[in-house]
Amino acid sequence: MSFLEATRYNVDRAAKALDLSPWQVLELNTPRRELKVELNLRRADGTYSTFVGFRVQHDNARGPMKGGLRYDPRVDPDEVNALASLMTWKTAVMGIPYGGAKGGINCDPRLLSRDELQRLTRDFTDELADFIGPKTDIPAPDMGTNAETMGWIVDQYSKYHGWSPGVITGKPISLGGSHGRTAATGRGCLFALLNVLSDRGDSIEGKSIAIQGFGNVGSWAARLMSEAGGKVVAVSDVTGGLRNPEGLDVNALCDYVDKTRGVQGFKGGEDFSGDELLTSECEILVPAAMESVITKDNAEGISATIIIEGANGPTTPEADEILRKKGVTIVPDCYANGGGVTVSYFEWVQNLQQFSWTEERVNLELRSVMDRAWADLKAQAGESEDLRLAAFKLALGRVLEATNLRR
């Protein structure tokens, strides 16, 4: 089952539970607009390369469309469609006034110089300039992009429309970015975990945690969960895995990764194959890398009793069923990693107001949104432990309500 098929499978499950008509399901699954652009780049050595860029705008019933831009060789129409759809459901679950979109360029940013990346980004912005905007579609960073990339985009877009910081989020602070945005997705994962544990009358203190992916989301989740009292016993990234049953020194590891660009070789733990991370001995598992990594082939071997989905779509439907039967609590991505889009929303609000919030206020507001969304999710779930089904039912209901009210 492809990533797009898996996403639509979850929509179909929720639609069936809500007794929606085939027409309503078709409407929910069909994006409003799909853009595909060709980008020709003159390389530093004088040769030319052609890259393909995408932007899928899925739904705007609840507000402007919102979603990241990723630069990765795996970017294709199906992936972008699935991710755009997930953004629609995520913003609805979080209760923020956005729809969903997603985009990116099929490229490997590690093989491009900074100058080449900037020119490619500005060309991409030229192609999107008539289709994005503060009240239309607001991109953000994702895999392979960062605050600097967003700075190039806001500058290029503003050449056509005047200074418009609200066109994009995840920008540098000096260009209208928000305090707390860099850590927001990882912090949201922490708040999601704390809410699960609190409902059980439990705490994070001493809980063993394994984190797959040590980029922005995974590294901040590790840092914040460790500071809150958790014990990060294993992490992995593209270089491999690192484990220490007694707990890793996360701050020292983050400093090491900043210098070496990989977790392997850190002296505070034992290197191991990153493929083993998901089945590592732990109480809490945080997949924070790519989609479709937890499958029917490895689900039985997962020892964690709680999974916090830091990545988008990390669990396939087949694995989902296996894990639920094992009694594993899966906190779905459209809630668990909602901290990023929530603080992006705060950044957009600050840009529209031309007023900057303190980091303390951002974090307090994020906790408030995460707590409210958790209460809504639990109320939708009732006695069921199927939080993914509850999240999709909640999201579909909210999108349909807005759609019908606008007709």
Q: Which two tokens stand for residue 9?
A: 């499978």
Helix (DSSP H) and strand (DSSP E) numbers for the chain: 13, 12
H or E segment at 396? helix 387-405
**Residue 213 to residue 285: CA distance in whole angstroms:** 11
Q: What are phi and psi of 77, to 5 degrees?
A: -60, -40
Strand positions, DSSP E, 327-382: 329-331
Neighbours of 246 (CB within 10 A): 9
**Residue 93 to residue 216: CA distance in whole angstroms:** 23
For residue 342, the SS3 value is helix
Strand partners, 242: 235, 271
- Among residues 66, 102, 171, 393, the one annotated as catalytic is 102
Q: Which two tokens stand for residue 75?
A: 């970017």
* DSSP code for 248: -
Q: Which two tokens stand for residue 407?
A: 């007709």
For residue 117, the SS3 value is helix
Q: What are phi and psi of 237, to 5 degrees?
A: -150, -165
Spell out the residues 6+ positions from residue 126 whose beta carbon is closer than 8 angstroms to its own: 156
For the question of residue 36 being annotated catalytic, the response is no
What does the chain come to in residues?
407
H or E segment at 141? strand 137-141
Instruction: Tell me the catalytic residues.
Output: 102
